[in-house]
Structures are given as structure tokens and as C-alpha cells.
């Protein structure tokens, strides 16, 4: 694997990025502009990371060309995730974007092309392990349903990165060769490619070469996503663990609730975690396992709400592994626990983007099963799929409003970009 824990660094404290507001100049990919600011922090990337970064932010790599990059749906200023609402259908350019968002769901390169899932953060994704089944439960794999298993390349992030360029609701290329042709036609890519992979030629002369070089694109993106520019470990929480930040009373109370009464750490702690295990350095707040927590449908989902999203079952049902395939029904409606790092920067939450604030998320965990409870006077929608729903760990936690606010305050300590007092 190209990524490693060695890449972790506290050196990147790019605070300037996070005070830029969303008002962007027309015709500039807003993510790219933010990224230029990031570049000024002088992080030193290796050649393969630099190659991956250039690819990640390159809006030429869409069809039609010039309208969408990976960063369009995984923007640094919102924690490498997507946006809430941006006008769509080409009108997005008024807001400085080429493509829009509806209720947390991103529009593809083709105007009006929408999937039904929210972009999770691409930060810390490189740490999600290869998919595994221990006879009881599945862990690992990227995408909400784990279908980028990582089994072929040994890296979930490298395999994941091969998907969006070809997906018709994302960057929409007809095949790997057309992505590689765009890289070949750009001198700066050839130089980086040579530095990264030892050859200045991107061989596309036959199918085998095309597929091998397309894998290299995935590996380069994996290297960038694994760099200290993306996986920053620069949050208050990290500073707290390093003894450089003292939590205020509300944050400290939130942390205690997270680990105890609210039970968040049953799932938002790395595998093997339990209520008694202290946080580890670099904690990701994710067990990498799959759960159905009873999320209601997002009524405004532009990708449609015709049938419940099968989640993990959708992938398992198509797997070549017959043992896995037999597990599909039991895993219907389950989604992988996401990391909570940078979640305070996100604009929408859950696999379908149904919630719009952390306050709403925590209130949902607290009151999903309380009759009449809801948000803004509207009762919670019916869970999308009941048979596999977790009815033990959450739903009626009995937290007071002040305790809910404390949990939210603790969640916000996980956002990267804390610079701390000058030392």
C-alpha cells in the first residue's frame, strides 16, 4: 500500500483555508482556488502524491470537459465532502460552480444527472481497510456500501478512485483510455508521471497497458489522499491528545457522553473498540462496520426515492463470492460507519443527505424512537428499512438539550485546521 501511517503529520495547520467563504469568483473551480491557498502552506508532496493531487483537482477530467473534478464533490473547505444546495442545471456558474447540489446530492458532469447518495468525505478514506467478513459481520471497503473492496489492488482508496471518472452520474468518461488520453496530452502530467512511475510514456497501445496505467491513476490519487495535506490530524481533538489543547467544559462533557451515556463510541470507534478503551492516537471514530441506524428517506433527493437503498446488500448481491452473496438479505439497508473527522465542516449528513446540521443528527440519535419527536416541528420520517434496524444502541438516549449541545461541541473538536494559541 502506498499510504502509511508515516504520512501522518501535524505540520499542516492550514487555517487560512477555512475562513474563505463560499462566495467564489465565476469560472474558477472553487475547490481549486482553495487549494491554491493550501499550496502556500508549502507542504512537500512526493511526486506520486503531487500527480494524484493534480488529477484530483483537474476539471478537464470530465465529459463534457472542464466542468467537474473529484474536488467538485469532495471540496477541502467542506472537509473533502460535498455541499448542501447549489443551483443546478447549468445555473450553478452563478455561484462560481459548474455543477450543482440538491439536498446534499451532487450533480454529475452531465446536467441533471444525479445519483441518490451523498459524497462522504474523501479525507481519511485511505485508512479504511480492505473488506473482510469474519463470519458475523462485514468490515472495510469504500463507498457507503463497501463495493470498492480493495481486494484487487490492496488499497480501498486506489480502487475507489477508478470509479468516478467512468460513472455516468459523475465524471462520465466512456472508458479508461479517454481519461489517459487527457493526461497524455498534458506535458506537466508526463513529467510527474515519469517522476512517479519511472516512465514518461503513458502506454495506451493495448488493453493490458491501458488497464495497468489506469490503475496507476488510482494509486496516485490514493497517495495524495493519504498525504498529510488530506489526512491532516490537525484538529483540536488531536491537539488535546498531544497535550496542546485543553477542552472547555462543554467539549469535555460531550466527550464523556460520546463514550458513555450517548453510546456513540459503540460504532464511532475503531474496530475492537468498546466503552472502556481509551481513544488511540489518530482515532478515526469509525468501526468500519455496517449498520442500519434507521435513517429516513431524504424527501428532496433528486436521485429518487422509489425503493429503499439496499446499502451493503446491493454490493453483496452482485459479489462473485457466494458466501458473501448469501449474506445480502441480512445486510439490507446497512451502511458503513463513516469517520467523524471533519464532520463539522460538512453541510449534509448520512448516506442520503437527509440531515442538514449536527444538532439535527444528535437529536435524531437521541429521539428516533420517541413518539412525536422530530425536527423543526416535523416528526422524524419513517426509517427507510426496518427489518435490519439497530433498535438497541440508539433511538431514545434520554439526553437533555444541553447534553445534545455538548455532544455537538465535542464533534466539532474533530475538525482539522486548529492552529492553537501561538506557542
The residues that touch ligand HEC, with contacts defined as CB under 6 A, are: 56, 68, 70, 72-74, 106, 108, 115, 117-120, 122, 125, 142-145, 157, 160-161, 164-165, 170-171, 221, 262-264, 266-268, 291, 293, 295, 335, 337-338, 340, 343, 346, 349-351, 358, 361-362, 365, 390, 393-394, 407, 411
Q: Report the distance separating Cα 186 and Cα 55, nearest Å.
A: 11
| Least gap, CB of 264 to ligand HEC (angstroms) | 3
**Closer to ligand HEC by Cβ: residue 3 or 117:** 117
Least CB distance from residue 352 to ligand HEC, whole Å? Answer: 7
As given in the structure block, the three cell numbers for residue 238 are 488531536
Q: Which CB sits closer to ligand HEC, 369 or 390?
A: 390
Closer Cβ to ligand HEC, 95 or 264, answer by number = 264
Return the number of the residue (234 or 339) whose C-beta is nearest ligand HEC. Answer: 339
CA distances from 316 to 126, 131, 148, 149, 288 (A): 22, 11, 12, 11, 16
Closer CB to ligand HEC, 55 or 423, in the complex: 55
C-beta closer to ligand HEC: residue 306 or 422: 306
Q: What's the Cα-to-Cα distance from 94 to each of 57, 78, 112, 114, 276, rounded to whole Å? A: 20, 19, 17, 20, 51
- Location of C-alpha cell 439490507: 332
> What would the grid cell of residue 124 be?
481519511
- The CA-CA-CA angle for residues 282, 287, 292, to 5°, reads 145
State the Cα–Cα distance between residues 368 and 379, nearest whole angstrom.
9
Q: Which residues contact 381 (CB under 8 A, 6 or more apart)?
A: 296, 297, 299, 354
**Can you say how many angstroms the Cα of residue 360 is from the centroid of all Cα atoms in its chain?**
20
Residue number, 7 or 358, with CB nearest to ligand HEC: 358
Asked if residues 76 and 17 have their Cβ atoms less than 8 Å apart, the reply is: yes
Query: Residues 7, 48: contact at Cβ < 8 Å?
Result: no
Task: Give whichever of 260 and 419 is closer to ligand HEC, judged by the CB atom.
Answer: 260
Is the CB of residue 339 less than 8 Å from the CB of residue 286? yes
Smallest gap from Cβ 27 to ligand HEC, in A, equals 18
The minimum distance between CB 371 and ligand HEC, in angstroms, equals: 19
Nearest to 255 by CA among 278, 235, 226, 273: 278
Where do we find the cell 447540489? 101
Closest distance between ligand HEC and the C-beta of residue 362, in Å?
Answer: 5
Kindly state the smallest distance separating residue 217's Cβ from ligand HEC, in Å: 8
Which CB atom, from 12 or from 262, has the smaller least distance to ligand HEC? 262
CB-CB neighbours of 297 under 10 Å? 18
Give whichever of 8 and 368 is closer to ligand HEC, judged by the CB atom. Answer: 368
Rounded least distance, CB 139 to ligand HEC, Å: 12
* Beta carbon of residue 25, minimum distance to ligand HEC (angstroms, whole number): 21
CA angle 181, 186, 189 (to 5 degrees): 95
Q: What is the CA radius of gyration of the chain?
A: 21
Phi-psi map region of 156: left, alpha, beta (phi>0 left; psi -120 to 50 alpha):
alpha
Q: Using alpha carbons, select from 311, 91, 57 the residue that is nearest to residue 171.
A: 57
CB of residue 416 vs ligand HEC: minimum separation in angstroms? 14
Least distance to ligand HEC, CB of residue 377, Å: 22
Amino acid at each position: 500500500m502506498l499510504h502509511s501511517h508515516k504520512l501522518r503529520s501535524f505540520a499542516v495547520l492550514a487555517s487560512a483555508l477555512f475562513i474563505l467563504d463560499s462566495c467564489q469568483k465565476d469560472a474558477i473551480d472553487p475547490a481549486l482556488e482553495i487549494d491554491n491557498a493550501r499550496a502556500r502552506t508549502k507542504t512537500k508532496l512526493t511526486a506520486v502524491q503531487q500527480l494524484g493531487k493534480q488529477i484530483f483537482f483537474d476539471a478537464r477530467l470530465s465529459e463534457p470537459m472542464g466542468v467537474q473534478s473529484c474536488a467538485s464533490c469532495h471540496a477541502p473547505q467542506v472537509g473533502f465532502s460535498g455541499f448542501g444546495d447549489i443551483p443546478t442545471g447549468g445555473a450553478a456558474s452563478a455561484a462560481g460552480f459548474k455543477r450543482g447540489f440538491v439536498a446534499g446530492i451532487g450533480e454529475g458532469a452531465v446536467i441533471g444527472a444525479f445519483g441518490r447518495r451523498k459524497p462522504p468525505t474523501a479525507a481519511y478514506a485511505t485508512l479504511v481497510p480492505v473488506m473482510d467478513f469474519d463470519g458475523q459481520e462485514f468490515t472495510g471497503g469504500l463507498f457507503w456500501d463497501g463495493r470498492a473492496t480493495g481486494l484487487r489492488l490492496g488499497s480501498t482508496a486506489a480502487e475507489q478512485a477508478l470509479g468516478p471518472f467512468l460513472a455516468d452520474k459523475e465524471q462520465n468518461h466512456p472508458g479508461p483510455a479517454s481519461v489517459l488520453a487527457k493526461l497524455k496530452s498534458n506535458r506537466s502530467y508526463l513529467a510527474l508521471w515519469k517522476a512517479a512511475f519511472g516512465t514518461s510514456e503513458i502506454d495506451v497501445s493495448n488493453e493490458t497497458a491501458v488497464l495497468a496505467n489506469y490503475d496507476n491513476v488510482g494509486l496516485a490519487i490514493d497517495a495524495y489522499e493519504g498525504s498529510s495535506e488530506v489526512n491532516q490530524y490537525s484538529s483540536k481533538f488531536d491537539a488535546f491528545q498531544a497535550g496542546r489543547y485543553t477542552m472547555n467544559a462543554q467539549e469535555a462533557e460531550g466527550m464523556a457522553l460520546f463514550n458513555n451515556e450517548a453510546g456513540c463510541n459503540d460504532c464511532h470507534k475503531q474496530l475492537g473498540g468498546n466503552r472502556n478503551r481509551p481513544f488511540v492516537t489518530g482515532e478515526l471514530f469509525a468501526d468500519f462496520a455496517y449498520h442500519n441506524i434507521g435513517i429516513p428517506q431524504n424527501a428532496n433527493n433528486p436521485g429518487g426515492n422509489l425503493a429503499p437503498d439496499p446499502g451493503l446488500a446491493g454490493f453483496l448481491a452482485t459479489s462473485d463470492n457466494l458466501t458473501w452473496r448469501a449474506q445480502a438479505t441480512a445486510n439490507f439497508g446497512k451502511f458503513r460507519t463513516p469517520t467523524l473527522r471533519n464532520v463539522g465542516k460538512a453541510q449534509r449528513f448520512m448516506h442520503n443527505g437527509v440531515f442538514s446540521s449536527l444538532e439535527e443528527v444528535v437529536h435524531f440519535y437521541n429521539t428516533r424512537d420517541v413518539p412525536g419527536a422530530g425536527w423543526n416541528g416535523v416528526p422524524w420520517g419513517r426509517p427507510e428499512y426496518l427489518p435490519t434496524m439497530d433498535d438497541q444502541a440508539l433511538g431514545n438516549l434520554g439526553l437533555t438539550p444541553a447534553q445534545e449541545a455538548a455532544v455537538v461541541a465535542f464533534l466539532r473538536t474533530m475538525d482539522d485546521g486548529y492552529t492553537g494559541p501561538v506557542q
